[in-house]
Structure 1
Amino acid sequence: MTAARLPVADRAAVRRAYLDLARTDRRGTALVLLTTCLAATAALVPPWLIGRIVNLVESGTASTGSVDLLAVGILTSAAAGVLLTRQSRYLAHRFAERALAELREEFVDRTLALPTTVVERAGSGDLMARTTADIATIGGALRDAAPEVFVGVLQTLLILVAITLLDPLLGLCALAGIASLWWAARWYLRRARTAYLAEGAATSEMSESLAATVEGARTVEAFALGERRVRDGDLRVREAHRTRVHTLFLRNVLFPQMDFSYVLALGLVLMVGGLLHVNGSVTLGVVVSASLYTLQVVEPLARLLMWMESIQRSTASMARVKGVGNAGGDPPPGGTPGDDRIEVRSVRYAYPGREGSDAVRDVLEDVDLAVRPGERLAIVGPSGAGKSTLGRLLAGVDAPRVGSVTVGGVPVADLAPDELRRRIVLVTQEHHVFIGTLRDNLAIAAPDAPDARILDALDAVDAAWARALPEGLDTPLGAGNAELDAAQAQQLALARVLLADPHTVVLDEATALLDPTTARHAERAMAAVLAGRTVIAIAHRLHTAHYADRVAVMAAGRITELGSHDELVAADGAYAALWRSWHGAG
């Protein structure tokens, strides 16, 4: 099933995002604008002074002192322009880095606030592309493109005004030559955003495909899926190549038109200026100054149009980055449950992608279940029976297609995130060790927990190795530091659950990676620590069911048996057969 694409923000949201970045650092924005304006003004002085020198020479009134004085003015203004330009770029870089820091923090906050199901369906490739390539593109635009575009626009306008002040007709000639760019720019801008959004989406899909192949390398090798994964990768790479070739085509249309416009503008100014000079309408110095200004406009215009491509890329990237905040949809209505009783009524569920087909294939069918507060319920059954799917619904990760899953009378999927985490925690086979100390990894679940409580939680899951670490709770983990094996990492995840102290814990094969002895110890310890809390354990190891208050047996998406261990063994049904098979094998 193809990963669901995360949404993108509309144009209005992108404009607001850039304005918000500017508002977060008003002083920095003002300094960038001020130095940029001064640099653009300084660049106007040399051509005008050169025209004065030409006029003095032409009239025969030039003297060494006057020419030297004008030359000093040219050098001074040029030096001032260089220094001001350097300072404006330095300030722009500082502003961009601060803005990027804000953007990255906001992106992380929005990503962490997304429902788990949204993140899973989107896949890691899209999120990684947005947080790396897209934010890098925005950073380049903020550091370089935005200041350059502003400078280019300002210098172009000032130069055209300067030419017009020298002679209105020459100003009109320069404007006519440059105006031919308008058509090419308009053609480009109409197509650029869509093209760059398509390029970003193709890059995300390519990243997702490559990441899935790398992460599942052992599975690919075990089932001889190499050719299939190569074909899928080739397809994604070809699509990414096609979208990039299309954006390259847009640039190849725009840039030649730029060169033609420059030549046209300069040609018109020289031709008309020469005719005016011959007729005595303007001095030679005016023609020279106007020609130099026209040559001078080439550089800011070229910079403007070349960075326009970067601006379009960054606009598309900003739409993708800001779109993450829209992926969660409307916030849940919330509500406060009256108690911790969980009820599943007439639930049917089909995974997204299957519902879109003509025939909906439910993986859960007419499931009814009531879990009493403080009860220990074990859910067992063969692989594919729907155990993990039911666990996700009980934990509020997904919502049923038909029916309801409630806690205290409130739909679990409608609980506000904070309320949901306080009540129900899902622990799966997956685990993660974050870069940081052992204390940091555990404080995620309880930021204010004292060391004594953290150590008690580790002891409760039989993590004796934690006390043997060289620096205790301050021992750095991951990325070249102390490495935890799979069993230790899973014990760390179980300790987090104890520290989080929820009312209900859904354990989806949470001890699958522990050896049988360690798993039994950890489960007994958890049973003792979680006294008075609801524990729903999904497991293949039936010793978990043996210690449970009740056992729900699932097959083909239905609950086929429900009762205590002794009752189900005495009934001599599917559970009794499973128990005899497992007990005999053990």
Structure 2
Amino acid sequence: MKPVRSEGLAAVFAVHRGRMLAAAAALLATMLAGTALLGLAGGFITAAALAAGTAAGFNFFSPSAGVRALALARILSRYAEKLAGHDATLRIARDLRAWFFRRALPLAPARLGALRTGELMGRLMDDIGQVDGLFVRALGPLAAMLGIGLLGIAWAAWVDPWAAPILAVAALAMGAGVPALVARRGQVLEHRHAALQAALRTCVHEGIEGAADLAAMGATRRWAGRVDDAAGALADSGCRRRRRLSAGDLLHALCGMSALLAMTVLATSAAHAGRIAPAHAAALVFVTLALLDVWAGAGLAWQALQGGRASARRLRAVVDAAATVVDPPLPQAVPATGALCLQGVVFAHPGGRRVLDGIDLRIEPGQRVAIGGDSGGGKSTLTALALRVHDPAAGAVRWDGVDLRRFAQAEWHARVAWLPQEATVFAGSVRQNLRMGDPEAGEAAMWRVLAALDLEARVRASGGLDSEVGEGGALLSAGQARRLALARALLRPAPLLVLDEPTEGLDEDAAAALLLDLERALGGRSLLLVSHGALPASLPWRRLRLQDGRLHPVTAPGMRPPG
């Protein structure tokens, strides 16, 4: 796999220009063989008919050999075109997805969070599918049509100079004029169609994800109505697209009939006047027929090009957004251990109030710090700053005395084990989920962390480390899924553990038991935990409360839930 040297979308295609040129050349050869075959066969049949009864001097073998050779060449070039075209397309599809994820992942979660899940899925599936098919549906056919048109016009000019203008006008009308007429406002309509596809996908996805809540609120019928409305709008857009294509087909047919009639009149007149042989006159008509058939596909190719360009703009609208954090030009090596220190940290979301207003916090190696506070008070924002998902507006976040902005993000993240509030359990086995925390972890380490979080018996009873957990942990209870996600974080060999609501979904006794198990499993690692829930009084953790953008010490033995 060749590296993409540039970050532009065009670079994805440029890497495979050799394969695309080979596929376009094979497609041109297929068109050329088919056109020449029809022209030669038409001239041969005409000459044979005129020579009936006077076979003397008639060359039967050369044209028949030519017909067989062109038929074989068409089969071989067709096979080569399919092979080269699909090879180029599949490679482009692979690299296009890698390009999108490479550009989009640094935007998560801050920038991508503004997109609804269904809309993002639409861009990943529909838009990328439109763009990676640009070559076989648009660029390759249009290039081959241009090539066969130029060759056909040159050949017609050789046979009869008056034939070339007819083919040239037909080529311009069918290959450019009619598509341009049909494509008026086409970019706007294609963009709207792509948006309607995304809206329908979003509506369906959110309805499936929230089916239980919709049923509980008695809103299923209303949501189904929204899906029907979105599907109806997409169907109307599709009908408008088909009407435009049908109008283009009609105009193509009219142009084709006019060109064929003009060429027939010219060829018969030239043959009658003795300017060209009757066989050449027949060949002109049949070549014109073949070229018109090729050019009739120009409308679909131009529409595919419009659709692909609209999808490319939608993809660029995602990946061209400025990342909230960037790596320094010369990253500094991340110390293996150290103290996490927030000094005078101020943060506010765009257009919002200050969520954090002068935070000072130091977590020494091996120290445990738990932070409570009301919802919306900035606890998750504080963990996002520690992870360097955001940079502070003022102040600094440091590790071992070095500002996090001097580290490469990937290197810093390797030093942190992270459990978000809505941690995902991925479809697959227990082993596969745990190895996302540490790909090198052995079975003994996996069983130790499962035992520490009271999951060992459940996993052994269900079939061991290779037992399936289902999509989103569907085969586990909510508490078990939460513990498995925490086990994945604990398995990660990182000196700092950052947890956001690790006891979410657990009752008070289970939450207390989990936190006590967590304390024993932490070893010498540092902990930054944010939670609404009460902490067991026996935990020797430093306790703080985030209120009005500042941290305040908690002197009570436990942290009270909000309210």
The normalised TM-score by structure 2 is 0.84
Deviation of 1:506 after TM superposition, in Å, equals 2.3
For the residue of structure 2 that corresponds to 1:501, the secondary structure is: coil
Kindly indicate whether the alpha-carbon contact (under 8 Å) linking 2:178 and 2:248 is maintained by their aligned counterparts in 1.
yes
For the residue of structure 2 that corresponds to 1:116, the secondary structure is: coil
Match of 1:288 among 282, 290, 294: 282
Distance change >3 Å, CA 115–CA 288, structure 1 → 2: same
For the residue of structure 2 that corresponds to 1:264, the secondary structure is: helix
Match of 1:20 among 9, 12, 15: 15
1:76-95 correspondence to structure 2 within 5 Å: 76-95=69-88
Distance change >3 Å, CA 407–CA 249, structure 1 → 2: farther
For the residue of structure 1 that corresponds to 2:249, the secondary structure is: helix
Deviation of 1:318 after TM superposition, in Å, equals 4.1
Kindly indicate whether the alpha-carbon contact (under 8 Å) linking 1:427 and 1:508 is maintained by their aligned counterparts in 2.
yes
Deviation of 1:277 after TM superposition, in Å, equals 3.3
Kindly indicate whether the alpha-carbon contact (under 8 Å) linking 1:376 and 1:534 is maintained by their aligned counterparts in 2.
yes
Q: Deviations over 1:111-161 (max 9, x none)?
A: 444432223222322321122222333454455555544443333333222
In the aligned structure 2, how far is the partner of 1:148 from the partner of 1:92? 11
Kindly indicate whether the alpha-carbon contact (under 8 Å) linking 1:548 and 1:564 is maintained by their aligned counterparts in 2.
no
Name the stretch that deviates more: 215-224 or 301-310: 215-224
**Which residue in 2 is equivalent to 1:366?**
357
Deviation of 1:167 after TM superposition, in Å, equals 0.9
For the residue of structure 2 that corresponds to 1:474, the secondary structure is: coil
In the alignment, is residue 173 of structure 1 matched against residue 172 of structure 2? Answer: no
**Which residue in 2 is equivalent to 1:273?**
267
In the alignment, is residue 97 of structure 1 matched against residue 90 of structure 2? Answer: yes
Kindly indicate whether the alpha-carbon contact (under 8 Å) linking 1:461 and 1:526 is maintained by their aligned counterparts in 2.
yes
**Which residue in 1 is equivalent to 2:32?**
41
In the aligned structure 1, how far is the partner of 2:343 from the partner of 2:219? 39
Code of the residue aligned with 1:21 in structure 2: it is: H
Distance change >3 Å, CA 480–CA 562, structure 1 → 2: closer
For the residue of structure 2 that corresponds to 1:512, the secondary structure is: coil
In the alignment, is residue 260 of structure 1 matched against residue 254 of structure 2? Answer: yes
In the alignment, is residue 510 of structure 1 matched against residue 502 of structure 2? Answer: yes
Deviation of 1:265 after TM superposition, in Å, equals 1.5
In the alignment, is residue 421 of structure 1 matched against residue 420 of structure 2? Answer: no
In the aligned structure 2, how far is the partner of 1:318 from the partner of 1:261? 32
Q: Which runs of 5+ in 2 are unaligned?
A: 1-6
In the aligned structure 2, how far is the partner of 1:239 from the partner of 1:429? 37
**Which residue in 1 is equivalent to 2:129?**
136
**Which residue in 1 is equivalent to 2:348?**
349
Name the stretch that deviates more: 279-288 or 238-247: 238-247
Kindly indicate whether the alpha-carbon contact (under 8 Å) linking 2:373 and 2:532 is maintained by their aligned counterparts in 1.
yes
**Which residue in 2 is equivalent to 1:4?**
none
In the alignment, is residue 115 of structure 1 matched against residue 108 of structure 2? Answer: yes
In the aligned structure 2, how far is the partner of 1:91 from the partner of 1:98? 11
Kindly indicate whether the alpha-carbon contact (under 8 Å) linking 2:426 and 2:473 is maintained by their aligned counterparts in 1.
no
Q: Deviations over 1:66-109 (max 9, x none)?
A: 44763454355234423432442244234433432343344445
Q: Deviations over 1:513-534 (max 9, x none)?
A: 2343333232122222324433
For the residue of structure 1 that corresponds to 2:162, the secondary structure is: helix
Code of the residue aligned with 2:535 in structure 1: it is: H
Q: Which has the higher helix share?
A: 1
Q: Deviations over 1:492-517 (max 9, x none)?
A: 11111112233332221112123433
In the aligned structure 1, how far is the partner of 2:392 from the partner of 2:224? 36
**Which residue in 2 is equivalent to 1:457?**
449
Distance change >3 Å, CA 400–CA 247, structure 1 → 2: farther
Kindly indicate whether the alpha-carbon contact (under 8 Å) linking 1:93 and 1:144 is maintained by their aligned counterparts in 2.
no
**Which residue in 1 is equivalent to 2:546?**
554
Code of the residue aligned with 1:388 in structure 2: it is: S
Distance change >3 Å, CA 286–CA 417, structure 1 → 2: same
In the aligned structure 2, how far is the partner of 1:398 from the partner of 1:217? 33
For the residue of structure 2 that corresponds to 1:99, the secondary structure is: helix
For the residue of structure 2 that corresponds to 1:208, the secondary structure is: helix
Distance change >3 Å, CA 197–CA 446, structure 1 → 2: same
In the alignment, is residue 397 of structure 1 matched against residue 389 of structure 2? Answer: yes
Code of the residue aligned with 2:440 in structure 1: it is: D
In the aligned structure 2, how far is the partner of 1:407 from the partner of 1:121? 30
Kindly indicate whether the alpha-carbon contact (under 8 Å) linking 1:46 and 1:77 is maintained by their aligned counterparts in 2.
no
1:463-502 correspondence to structure 2 within 5 Å: 463-465=455-457, 468-469=460-461, 471-478=463-470, 483-502=475-494
In the alignment, is residue 307 of structure 1 matched against residue 301 of structure 2? Answer: yes
For the residue of structure 1 that corresponds to 2:111, the secondary structure is: helix
For the residue of structure 2 that corresponds to 1:543, the secondary structure is: coil
Kindly indicate whether the alpha-carbon contact (under 8 Å) linking 2:179 and 2:298 is maintained by their aligned counterparts in 1.
no
**Which residue in 2 is equivalent to 1:3?**
none
Kindly indicate whether the alpha-carbon contact (under 8 Å) linking 1:422 and 1:503 is maintained by their aligned counterparts in 2.
no
Q: Deviations over 1:533-560 (max 9, x none)?
A: 33222222212576253322234x4336
Distance change >3 Å, CA 282–CA 95, structure 1 → 2: same
For the residue of structure 1 that corresponds to 2:297, the secondary structure is: helix
1:201-280 correspondence to structure 2 within 5 Å: 201-223=195-217, 240=234, 244=238, 247-248=241-242, 250-280=244-274
Alpha-carbon RMSD: 3.7
For the residue of structure 1 that corresponds to 2:444, the secondary structure is: helix
Deviation of 1:442 after TM superposition, in Å, equals 1.1
In the aligned structure 1, how far is the partner of 2:222 from the partner of 2:106? 35
Kindly indicate whether the alpha-carbon contact (under 8 Å) linking 1:125 and 1:205 is maintained by their aligned counterparts in 2.
yes
Q: Deviations over 1:248-299 (max 9, x none)?
A: 5653553333222212211221233333334332333222211111111111
Distance change >3 Å, CA 398–CA 62, structure 1 → 2: farther
Kindly indicate whether the alpha-carbon contact (under 8 Å) linking 1:134 and 1:321 is maintained by their aligned counterparts in 2.
yes
Deviation of 1:171 after TM superposition, in Å, equals 1.4
Q: Deviations over 1:419-444 (max 9, x none)?
A: 33133343123232323332221111
In the aligned structure 1, how far is the partner of 2:196 from the partner of 2:421? 31
For the residue of structure 2 that corresponds to 1:472, the secondary structure is: coil
The normalised TM-score by structure 1 is 0.81
In the aligned structure 1, how far is the partner of 2:396 from the partner of 2:218? 41
In the aligned structure 2, how far is the partner of 1:210 from the partner of 1:545? 46
Code of the residue aligned with 1:508 in structure 2: it is: D
Deviation of 1:187 after TM superposition, in Å, equals 4.6
Kindly indicate whether the alpha-carbon contact (under 8 Å) linking 1:197 and 1:316 is maintained by their aligned counterparts in 2.
yes
Code of the residue aligned with 1:32 in structure 2: it is: A
1:512-531 correspondence to structure 2 within 5 Å: 512-531=504-523
For the residue of structure 1 that corresponds to 2:16, the secondary structure is: helix
**Which residue in 1 is equivalent to 2:4?**
none
In the aligned structure 1, how far is the partner of 2:536 from the partner of 2:416? 20
For the residue of structure 1 that corresponds to 2:359, the secondary structure is: strand
In the aligned structure 1, how far is the partner of 2:117 from the partner of 2:258? 50
For the residue of structure 2 that corresponds to 1:513, the secondary structure is: coil
Q: Which runs of 5+ in 1 are unaligned?
A: 1-11, 570-574
Tell me the percent identity.
Answer: 22
Number of aligned pairs?
A: 549
Kindly indicate whether the alpha-carbon contact (under 8 Å) linking 2:430 and 2:469 is maintained by their aligned counterparts in 1.
yes
Q: Deviations over 1:285-335 (max 9, x none)?
A: 222211111111111111233233223323433444466543453733255
